[in-house]
Amino acid sequence: MAWYHEIASSLAALVRRPRQDAELSEEMRFHLEMETKRNIEMGMSEADARRRAQREFGRVELHKDDTRDERGASALFDAWSDLRFAIRSLRHRPGLTAAATLTLALGIGATSTVFGVVEHVLLRPLPYAQPEHVVAVWSAWKGFERTWLSYDEWEGWKARVPAFADIALYSDGAATIDGDSPERVRSTSIQASVFPILGVRLARGRGFTADEDRPGGPSVAVVSNELWERRFGGDPSIVGKHVQISGSDRVIVGVTPAGFQLPQDYAGGERTDIYFPLATDANSQGAVPGPAFPKGGASHGYYAVARLAPGATAAMANAQLRTLVAELEQFGYMANVNFRAFVVPIEEQITGRVRPVLLVVLGAVVLVLLIACANVAGLLLVRGEARRRELAVRVALGAGTRRLARLLITESALLATIGGVMGVTLAWVTVRLLRTNAPAGLPRLGETSIDWAVLLVAFIVSIVTALLTGVLPLAHATGMALSGELREGGRGATTGRARLRWRQALVAVEIALAVVLVAGAGLMIRTVRNLLTIDPGFRADGVLTMRVSTPTVFYPDSTRVISYWDDVERRVAAVPGVKHVAAVRLLPLASEMGDWGMVIQGYTPPPNQGAPGDWQIVTPGYFETMGLTLRAGRTFTASDNDFKSPLALIVNRAFEQRYFAGRRALGGRVRIGSADTTKWYTIVGVVDDVHHNTLIGIVKPQFYATLAQFALAPGSTRRTMSLVAKTDGDPKALVSAVRAAVRAADPRLPVSEVRTMREIVDAAIGGQRFAMATLGVFGLVALVLSAIGIFGIVSQVVASRLHEFGIRAALGATPRDLMVMALGSGLRQAMTGLAIGTAAALVLTRVLHTLLHGVTPTDPLTFGAVVVVTGLVTVIASVAPARRAARVDPNAVLRVD
Amino acid sequence: MPTEPRLGPRAEVVRGTLEMLALRLLNEEPMHGWGLSLRLREISRDVFDVNQGSLYPALQAMLRRGWIRAEWRASENNRRARYYRVTVEGQKQLDVQIAEWQRTSAAVNRVLRYAFSGA
């Protein structure tokens, strides 16, 4: 095949098209004239001769098209002319075009946004080498579903679990970068093998050596890429520099790569900015050196991460841990508390909680997209109705079905393209909003961005919508081409039937999908309401919180720490609007709290079990600030926060029920820690349980001690505390005044994590709230689109039956009769849709199962409300067009004939 | 409205065959489209129903492949008409197609003859 002929022909077709077209017309005209002449010579009349010639030749426009197609590059031309035609026809109906593009933009935008989130949160690999081989290792026992490891366990698992290639410990905290503008950042102390286990290669410098990771080792640190850029201006010679951190001099040995985070960083949504060597061993842990276990267990305080040995799986690791733990139990280790050890694949660990939420949202957005497509297809069908004659003329002039198909598909494609561009813009805006307002507690959500993958998906979705919305109008148009619309006469009341049936089916589908979405939204709303009605044990409203640390360099002893907090509280209390102020070790629902072993007078724990209590350290005023309910006794007074006063303890109801069953807790005596030397506390008050770790689930025994007395016994000075300030007004309004007051007390100490208690509570149910918000918005969109669909149907029915209504009116039907008749035409679809949708929703809402709280996936109340709401929406949407039927003027209608 | 009958009592010429016949006729003398359609009808004694309009896409396809060339000339009755002429490449193509056709038709004939003699 001579390719240069092809190219020359295509080029000529591009450059000389008008001339070639003129020549083609002339050539065919010549043919027809010659044929006519020949027919006349054969004895026909001129009219017959011409008709015969035309019949023999066939459809001129069709042959012209076919000939053009043979020129080469014709696809381009046709596309261009189709496009121009599509633009023109869409501009002719701005209302319809706007409705269709907006609907598509909504569908495509929502789909792109959700896909962007799913891609970044679930699909994008974690910043670890072969993350499928990395697992988090946990311990568990009664009351602790997922808790830390002890040093002994680490030694034991490392030596005796063959499925682990290596396992390492780390522990999180906070550090202050000293200097003119001190900064509080999240820090984590890691064993030297944490980086190799995660398979991270440092961007600069190196990780820690074994020599650095021992007690008394060199004072070194690794910083995150983000801190390096922000705080050190990307200094290329950072490695080897000395930096003052939390009052001690540290040599920076490395910088992590951009985007790197420890597994535990994802849980809190905060990145570790400084890494220290964990620098611990069995001796400094009070643990048994080597892979051996003390009977009672020891302090459990480390996160652990492990890399699986080649060929090993998480299931194998779990099986080996189970065997090992059973063996330890025989020996008496952590007996009678149902001790377990297990691994969780790191991906599941990090995104496991958010996965069900996102999958539900992804499913919901696909439903929204389908509704949008159904709606646009419906709109195009209406337009097809109005264009019947135009298309019929085209068919009569010889336009083939293929040509017609191209034309209609081009129109859908154009709509989808405009919708796609608007949709991507919408997605861009939504993602920006999402990044700044990422609900806490949903890891990686804030990383979402519109990237090439998202754009590609938006593109594919646009093409799919073009096909979905184009195919139905197309089927009708081609049907039309075969059935010869022209002969049908002008009215076409009956021919519209088939199209109407299609639209009715589409609207029924829309309503069914809307019911599913609204049902999902309803269940989530009920869940969030249920969660919000759980009494957390404190009053979140009006409470402002912020974290402050008192490092040893500035505050070498507990006396100074206590007087610092006294000073801060005095200054903050003086801020206008502040009613109560206090300090607390851990804010409820903001972080998990571990326990401390106790000795309780008159209580003998079962064999091999201690008497653990969650330990909350506060300053007097905490109970008033947080609105805890006092059940017995008194709250702390200023004199309790003093070394010289008698040691006073306040306990929660769970504490009283567990350790003082049948006795009065008030006046009971408790020793914190098992050492015989620690002093006895006396219980002076009992307060209601506070949900500390999670909003749902059981509350464990908890005690409250004052900052000063806890520093005395068991002798632990809490250096990081959260300030809590209560106001009657908006706590946000107090931020700058309270900050200024804290700063005035000591400008060297940075303030971090400024939040309201309300924000913390909201974040605790972030997943459910996120699902509720998205399903709510999608449900609303679905309702609006279905309403538009119903509105369109009833309008069309009324328009096509106006004549009939006129006759009926003339024969004595009242406007009321006519209105009922018109309403009925839409309500049948609504009923079908409601029935199908309810049935589908009853099955589909099961996927929400893990997210729901206090409501079943088939909650009758929710479903009843959904049916009523959706039904009402369809009735309201039908009323306006039905009114037109009621107002029909028989004279005007009948005179048209 | 049904479209015009495409398959009548007379056999419709398939595209490839139409190209071969057109090349064969144009190889004798350059002709315009109508002239070619007339000659096709005459020679085949109206057996082949060359749907006259469908001749033009076929001609355009051959133009594109460089088998024929077109030029505007005055026709017999002094009107402007587009004449088609076979190129060297077109002649080669014609030889190939005729050879191919003869091979195929000979084979078909053999089969038919066998079928009838065997009956």
Residue A176: left (phi > 0), alpha (psi -120 to 50), or beta? beta
Cβ(A663)–Cβ(A602) below 8 Å = yes
CB contact under 8 A, B1 and A396: yes
Could you tell me if A164 and A33 lie in one domain?
Answer: no
- Is residue B46 assigned to a domain? yes
What pLDDT, on the 0 to 100 scale, is given for residue A74? 64
Q: What is the pTM of this model?
A: 0.69
Q: Which two tokens stand for residue A429?
A: 């805006």
| Least confident span in A71-80, A100-109, A733-742, B16-25 | A71-80
Min Cα separation B105/chain A (Å): 25
Q: Which residues of A touch B3 (CB under 8 A)?
A: 59
In a domain, A521, yes or no: yes
Mean pLDDT of A433-459: 77
B49 DSSP assignment: B
CB-nearest to A27 from B4, B33, B51 is B33
CA distances from A533 to A526, A853, B64 (A): 10, 11, 78
pLDDT at A373: 87
Number of CB atoms found within 10 A of residue B56's CB: 23
Lowest mean pLDDT among A89-98, A551-560, A594-603, A732-741: A89-98
Any domain includes A755: no
For position B45, which CATH number holds?
A: 1.10.10.10
CB A608 within 8 A of CB A334: yes
| Domain-located, residue B94 | yes
- Flag whether A327 is in a domain: yes
Counting residues of chain A whose pLDDT is more than 90, the rounded percentage is 37
Residue A38 with chain B: CB contacts under 8 Å: 38
Residues A372 and A512 in one domain: no
Specify whether A192 is located in the same domain as A324.
yes
Mutate to test the interface with A, among B50, B60, B82 (most CBs of A within 10 A): B60
CA angle A417, A419, A422 (to 5 degrees): 110
Q: Cβ–Cβ of B89/A2 closer than 8 Å?
A: yes
- Interface size, chain A vs chain B, as Cβ–Cβ contacts under 8 Å: 81
> Would residue B98 count as lying in a domain?
yes
Calculate how close chain A gets to B106, using CA atoms only, in Å: 27
- Check whether the bond before A731 is cis (ω within 30° of 0): no
Percent of chain A with pLDDT over 70: 92
Closest CA in chain A for residue B61? A70
Alpha-carbon span A523 to A848, nearest angstrom: 8
Question: Quick check: B104 contacting A, CB < 8 Å?
Answer: no
Q: Which of B53, B61, B75 sits opposite A58 (nearest CB)?
A: B53
User: Are A474 and A568 in the same domain?
Assistant: no
pLDDT at position A277: 95
Please, which pLDDT band fits residue B2 given cuts at 50, 70 and 90?
very low
* Boundary residue ending a domain (A748, A773, A803): A748
CB contact under 8 A, B65 and A28: no
Beta bridge partners of A597: A612
| CA of A490 vs chain B CAs: smallest distance (Å) | 16
Q: Is B82 in CB contact (< 8 Å) with chain A?
A: yes
- A663: which strand partners? none
Structure confidence by residue, pLDDT tens digits, B89-109: 999 999 998 998 899 888 888
Please check whether residue A727 is in contact with residue A577, taking contact to mean a CB–CB distance below 8 angstroms: yes
Of A4, A58, A396, the CB nearest to B52: A58
Residue among A24, A35, A71 minimizing CB distance to B64: A71
pLDDT surpassing 80 at residue A693: yes
Locate the chain A residue with the closest alpha carbon to B35: A31
CB A287 within 8 A of CB A152: yes
For A70, the closest of B33, B60, B80 (CB atoms) is B60
- Both A58 and A201 in a single domain? no
**Cα A62 to Cα A58, A395, B53, distances in angstroms:** 8, 10, 9
Q: Using alpha carbons, select from A409, A160, A120 the residue that is nearest to residue A306.
A: A160
Interface touch A57/B80, C-beta < 8 Å: no
Whether A498 maps to a domain, the answer reads no
Domain boundary pick from A72, A96, A117: A72
Residues spanned by the domain of B20? 15-117
Q: How far is B38 from chain A (nearest CA, A)?
A: 9
What is the pLDDT at residue A492? Answer: 43
Establish if A343 belongs to a structural domain.
no
- Between CA A883 and CA B2 the distance in angstroms is 42
Helix (H, G, I), strand (E, B) or coil at A555: coil
Q: Is B68 helix (H, G, I), strand (E, B) or coil?
A: strand
Centre a 10 Å sphere on the Cβ of residue B74 and count the other Cβ atoms it contains: 10
Confidence of residue A608 (pLDDT cuts 50, 70, 90): low
Q: Is residue A542 part of a domain?
A: no
Shortest Cα distance from B59 to chain A (angstroms)?
Answer: 8
Q: Is the same domain home to A288 and A395? A: no
Nearest alpha carbon to residue A1 among B18, B66, B15:
B66
Q: Are residues A215 and A332 in the same domain?
A: yes
* Unique residue bearing structure tokens 């040893």: A552
SS3 A304: strand
User: In this model, does residue A194 exceed pLDDT 70?
Assistant: yes
Q: Do A23 and B64 touch (CB under 8 A)?
A: no
Enumerate residues 30 to 69 of chain B having a beta carbon within 8 A of any beta carbon in chain A. 32-34, 37-38, 51-54, 56-61, 63-66
Mutate to test the interface with A, among B19, B32, B56, B72 (most CBs of A within 10 A): B56
Q: Is A743 exposed, middle or buried (0-12, 13-18, 19+ CB in 10 A)?
A: middle
Residue B90, in any domain of the structure: yes
In a domain, B10, yes or no: no
Q: Are residues A613 and A739 in the same domain?
A: yes
- Which residue range is the domain that position A367 belongs to? 74-127+353-490
Mean pLDDT, rounded, for B34-49: 80
Query: Would you say residue B1 lies in a domain?
Result: no
Across chain A, mean pLDDT equals 86
Residue A488 — pLDDT band, cuts 50, 70, 90? very low
**Which H or E element spans position A175?**
strand A164-177
Q: Could you write out the three-class secondary structure of A590-643?
A: CCCCCEEEEEECCCCCCCCCCEEEEEEEECCCHHHHHCCCEEEECCCCHHHCCC
| A799 in Cβ contact with A859 (< 8 Å) | no
Per the CB < 8 Å rule, is A6 touching B65?
A: yes
pLDDT band at B116 (very low <50, low <70, confident <90, very high): low
Q: Residue A248: phi, psi to the nearest 5?
A: -125, 155
Whether residue A841 is contained in a domain is answered as yes
Distance from CA of B103 to the nearest CA of A (A): 22
Please give, rounded to a whole number of angstroms, the shortest distance from the CA of A70 to a CA of chain B. 5
Do residues A314 and A402 both lie within one domain?
Answer: no
Would B9 be classed as within a structural domain?
no
What 3-state class would DSSP assign to A571? Answer: helix
Question: Which residues of chain B are within 8 Å of residue A57 when distances are taken between CB atoms?
Answer: 52-53
- Return d(Cα A829, Cα A836) in angstroms, integer: 11
Residues A118 and A191 in one domain: no
Distance between CA atoms of A365 and A348, rounded to whole angstroms? 23
Same domain, A716 and A819: no
Closest CA to A27 of B60, B13, B24: B60
Q: Does A29 touch chain B (CB under 8 A)?
A: no
**Among A19-23, A254-258, A425-429, B47-51, which stretch is predicted with the lowest mean pLDDT?**
B47-51
Report yes or no on B2 lying in a domain. Answer: no
Q: Which residues contact A388 (CB under 8 A, 6 or more apart)?
A: A480, A485, A492, A495
Nearest to A30 among B57, B79, B89 (CB): B79
Whether pLDDT at A191 is above 80? yes
Most confident of A274-283, A651-660, A707-716, A839-848: A651-660
What CA–CA distance (Å, rounded) separates A196 from A198? 5
**Most confident segment among A216-225, A583-592, A752-761:** A216-225
The first and second tokens of residue A867, run together, are: 């049916």
Chain A: closest CA distance from residue B102 (Å): 22
| Residues whose CB is less than 8 angstroms from the CB of residue A289 and which lie 6 or more positions away in sequence, other chains included | A155, A281, A282, A283
What was the pLDDT predicted at A829?
A: 81
Work out how many domains chain A is built from and give that number: 5
Q: How many domains does chain B have?
A: 1
Residues β-bridged to residue A171: A189
Nearest to A31 among B33, B58, B63 (CB): B33
A554 touches A755 (CB < 8 A): no
Nearest CB neighbour to B56, from listed A38, A63, A396? A63
Q: How far is Cα A542 from Cα A798, in angstroms, rounded to an integer?
A: 56
Q: To which H or E segment does residue B102 belong?
A: helix B88-117
Listing DSSP states for A283-302 in one string gives HHHTPPTTT---TT---EEE
| Assembly ipTM | 0.84
Summarize pLDDT for A345-361 with one digit per residue, the tens.
999 888 887 888 888 88
Rounded-to-5 percentages of helix, strand, coil across chain A: 55, 15, 30
Q: What are phi and psi of A73, to 5 degrees?
A: 60, 15
B8 CB within 8 Å of a chain A CB? no
In a domain, A544, yes or no: no
Residues A703 and A556 in one domain: yes
What's the average model confidence in pLDDT over A847-851?
A: 85
Q: How far is B94 from chain A (nearest CA, A)?
A: 14
Cα separation, A127 vs A189, whole angstroms: 19
